[in-house]
């Protein structure tokens, strides 16, 4: 957590960044220092729009801070204030989120990093975003920082050498519109999905794995990170706070300590359905008129956590939450996933429905995305095909009589002949993307299983999960591990399904 007093003192002695205005028509300036609001709350003081220099007292007062300690993983210490009182604007009014964020990052690669790049989705909607301050201990004094297309770029005074650590602090305000987006609200839920600035993975020889959105698919990737988050909810509505993690002992603001791939919130007035899977608490949330579906998704999520924990390795957190949400289809975050209510009407209650399959799918992302990460824009098959195939693993155990139903309903009736390993940018239609990367990808994994045998295939999945825990895997990792467990060559299958198969021999 970041108490207000420590933030104020930390603002002294920093190099405040010059920030160029790269988003069309939007001038960002480091225009504020951290200071208490007149009411004694934690709202930052903001200078008039267009100011370019931080409070002189904040930049000249004290000696530089000591160098930050190296971290095994990126550390995000965040203090967020969510105000649900609607102000005018947008369709139905705007809520607001004010964030103070401190990030510590150690270069664990073997090469020097010339500059910092952070994924910064809250800034993508420039009309809803306001940067209040930005500082970093190693920022260049001559080259400006920039925010463009949802990315924050900070040139450094000198490249960040292997083993060196950098920190940055930023404060921003994001208005929250009534919309079905990863930051949005509706009459029963507030979603805070990609709401903070985060480092993408850094890969030697390639640099930061920071990508633009595609027409389909997900473009953000995350290294495993540590989170220390305070969330203060200012509201007259009694929201339940669903989150990637479990808050520390009661009270407000809510305090979360979490290690994982990402951290999302959903504040909701929905009904919770509580289950357990071993030592894991399962929470399902739906609106009251979907009570039957709420029980189903909680049941399926719990059964999925049991099966996947046994097959792949333990679920790494103490709680898993699945919520009905207006986000399209399903959407995964670490510890928390969303399911669109379009899945609800056709449920049968006997497993033969998309509600069951997609609940298992989103739960599987806790392993293929959460425990083991990937470059989601360039290698989407590395999580999606494995998540679809995990649906089959779920059905084989939970509903063996429905395996044939699953193959036809979910996979075989949507044939594709494109390369499974296409990046998201190869596709313009969601159906083509799913048919290829998800479904043909699952068909490829099944061919591998038939070629190498059930045991070798199961061992390969388990090793991917054990050696990849907390990492960002590549296709080369997958090729190597599958072949290591197979008594027969696998290249004929890779060749048949991939544009970039492994070299033979």
Measure Cα distances from 50 to 7, 24, 124, 148, 304 in Å.
23, 15, 19, 18, 52
Tokens of 188: 């029963």
Among residues 360 and 387, whose Cβ is nearest to Zn ion? 387
Give, for 466, the enclosing helix (H) or strand (E): helix 454-467
**Which range in 143-151, 228-236, 387-395, 398-406 contacts Zn ion by CB under 5 A?**
387-395
At which residue do the structure tokens 């043909």 appear?
Answer: 440
d(CA 309, CA 303): 10
Q: How far is the CB of 370 from Zn ion (least distance, A)?
A: 12
H-assigned helices in 313-380 = 354-364
Q: 83 or 362: whose CB is closer to Zn ion?
A: 362
Q: How far is the CB of 430 from Zn ion (least distance, A)?
A: 12
Minimum distance from CB of 133 to Zn ion (Å)? 37
**Of 211 and 361, which CB lies nearer to Zn ion in the complex structure?**
361
Least distance from C-beta 355 to Zn ion, angstroms? 15
* Of residues 169 and 365, the one with the C-beta less far from Zn ion: 365
Q: Least separation, in Å, of the C-beta of 361 and Zn ion?
A: 6
- Which one, 190 or 382, has the nearer CB to Zn ion? 382
**What SS3 state is found at 227?**
strand
Looking at beta carbons only, is 104 or 366 nearer to Zn ion?
A: 366
The distance of closest approach from Cβ of residue 216 to Zn ion in the complex, given in angstroms and rounded to an integer, is 12
3-state secondary structure of 385: helix
Q: Which residues pair with 106 in a beta bridge?
A: 165
Binding status of residue 360 toward Zn ion by CB under 5 A: no
The smaller minimum CB distance to Zn ion, of residues 375 and 384, is found at 384
| DSSP 8-class letter at 193 | S
Which residue, among 373, 365, 75, has the nearest Cα to 199 in the 3D structure? Answer: 75
CB of 362 to Zn ion, least distance (A): 7
Angstrom distance (rounded) from CA 342 to CA 131: 36
DSSP state of 222: -
Output the CA angle 57-61-64, nearest 5 degrees. 130
Which of these segments, 249-257, 378-386, 407-415, 473-481, binds Zn ion (CB under 5 A)?
378-386
- Taking CA atoms, 217 is separated from 81, 284, 428, 437, in Å, by 30, 25, 10, 10
Angstrom distance (rounded) from CA 473 to CA 481: 11
Number of residues that bind Zn ion (CB under 5 A): 2
**Is there binding between residue 424 and Zn ion (CB under 5 A)?**
no
CB of 365 to Zn ion, least distance (A): 6
Number of residues that make up the chain: 505
The nearest distance, CB 122 to Zn ion, in angstroms, is: 23
Beta carbon nearer to Zn ion, 19 or 357? 357
Two structure tokens written together for 134: 């930005």
CB 452 within 8 A of CB 479: no
Cβ 367 to Zn ion shortest distance, Å: 12
Q: Which is nearer to Zn ion, 177 or 434 (CB)?
A: 434
- What's the closest the beta carbon of residue 300 comes to Zn ion, in angstroms? 15
Residue 249 tokens read as 């002992």
- Residue 216: both structure tokens together: 């389909």
Contact segment (CB under 5 A) with Zn ion among 272-280, 313-321, 381-389, 456-464 equals: 381-389
> How many CA atoms are closer than 13 Å to the CA of 413, on its beta-carbon side?
7
Strand partners, 99: 80, 172
Q: Using the rule CB under 5 A, is 420 a contact of Zn ion? A: no
DSSP 3-state of 292: helix
Task: Count the neighbouring beta carbons within 10 Å of the beta carbon of residue 53.
Answer: 13
Pick the stretch among 73-81, 150-158, 254-262, 385-393 that binds Zn ion (CB under 5 A): 385-393
Give the nearer residue to Zn ion in terms of CB position, either 17 or 439. Answer: 439
Contacting residue, 123, 387, 448, 452, with Zn ion by CB under 5 A: 387
Shortest separation between residue 388's beta carbon and Zn ion, angstroms: 7
* 362 within 8 A of 337, measured Cβ to Cβ: yes
Binding mask 450-489 for Zn ion (x = CB under 5 A): ----------------------------------------
Smallest gap from residue 384 Cβ to Zn ion (A)? 5
Q: Which residues on neighbouring strands pair with residue 151, listed in sequence order?
A: 119, 148
Give the nearer residue to Zn ion in terms of CB position, either 168 or 364.
364
By beta-carbon proximity to Zn ion, the closer residue of 207 and 213 is 213
Considering the complex, state which of residue 382 and residue 387 has its C-beta at the smaller distance from Zn ion.
Answer: 387
Of 298, 242, 302, which Cα lies nearest the Cα of 269?
A: 242
Q: Which stretch binds Zn ion (CB under 5 A): 98-106, 179-187, 281-289, 379-387?
A: 379-387
Residues 97 and 173: beta-carbon distance below 8 Å: yes
Candidate segments 90-98, 130-138, 386-394, 473-481, binder of Zn ion by CB under 5 A:
386-394
| Residue number with the smallest Cβ distance to Zn ion | 387
Stretch that binds Zn ion, among 147-155, 222-230, 233-241, 376-384 (CB under 5 A): 376-384
Q: Which residues bind Zn ion (CB under 5 A)?
A: 384, 387
């Amino acid at each position: 957590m970041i108490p207000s007093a420590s933030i104020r003192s930390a603002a002294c002695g920093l190099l405040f960044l010059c920030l160029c205005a790269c988003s069309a028509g939007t001038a960002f300036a480091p225009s504020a220092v951290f200071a208490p609001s007149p009411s004694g709350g934690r709202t930052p003081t903001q200078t008039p729009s267009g100011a370019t220099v931080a409070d002189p007292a904040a930049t000249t007062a004290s000696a530089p801070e000591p160098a930050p300690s190296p971290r095994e993983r990126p550390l995000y210490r965040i203090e967020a204030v969510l105000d649900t009182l609607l102000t005018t604007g947008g369709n139905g009014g705007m809520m607001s989120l004010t964030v103070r964020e401190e990030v510590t990052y150690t270069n664990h690669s073997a090469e020097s990093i010339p500059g910092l790049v952070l994924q910064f989705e809250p800034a993508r909607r420039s009309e809803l975003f306001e940067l209040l301050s930005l500082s970093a201990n190693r920022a260049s004094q001559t080259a400006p920082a920039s925010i463009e297309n949802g990315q924050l770029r900070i040139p450094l005074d000198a490249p960040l050498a292997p083993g060196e650590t950098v920190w940055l602090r930023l404060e921003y305000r994001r208005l929250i519109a009534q919309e079905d987006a990863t930051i949005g609200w509706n009459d029963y839920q507030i979603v805070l999905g990609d709401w903070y600035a985060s480092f993408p993975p850094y890969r030697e020889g390639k640099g930061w794995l920071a990508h633009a959105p595609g027409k389909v698919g997900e473009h953000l990737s995350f290294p495993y990170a540590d989170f220390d988050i305070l969330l203060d909810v200012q509201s007259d509505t009694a929201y339940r706070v669903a989150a990637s993690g479990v808050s520390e002992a009661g009270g407000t603001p809510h305090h979360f300590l979490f290690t994982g791939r990402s951290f999302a919130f959903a504040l909701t007035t929905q009904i919770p359905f509580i289950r357990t899977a071993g030592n894991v608490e399962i929470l399902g949330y739906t609106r009251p008129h979907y009570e039957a579906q709420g029980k189903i998704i909680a049941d399926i999520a719990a059964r999925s956590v049991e099966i996947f924990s046994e097959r792949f390795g333990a679920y790494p957190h103490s709680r898993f939450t699945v919520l009905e949400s207006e986000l399209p289809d399903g959407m995964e975050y670490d510890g928390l996933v969303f399911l669109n209510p379009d899945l609800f009407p056709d449920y049968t209650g006997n497993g033969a429905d998309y509600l069951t399959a997609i609940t298992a799918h989103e739960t599987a992302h806790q392993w293929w995305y959460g425990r083991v990460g990937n470059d989601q824009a360039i290698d989407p098959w590395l999580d999606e095909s494995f998540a679809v195939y995990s649906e089959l693993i779920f059905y084989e155990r939970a509903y063996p009589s429905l395996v044939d139903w699953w193959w036809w309903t979910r996979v075989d009736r949507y044939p594709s002949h494109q390369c499974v390993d296409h990046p998201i940018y190869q596709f313009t239609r969601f159906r083509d993307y799913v048919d290829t990367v998800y479904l043909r990808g699952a068909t490829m994994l099944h061919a591998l299983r038939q070629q190498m045998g059930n045991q070798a295939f199961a061992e390969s999945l388990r090793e991917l999960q054990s050696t990849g825990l907390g990492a960002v895997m590549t296709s080369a990792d997958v090729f190597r591990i599958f072949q290591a467990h197979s008594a027969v060559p696998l290249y004929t299958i890779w060749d048949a399904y991939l544009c970039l198969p492994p070299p033979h021999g």
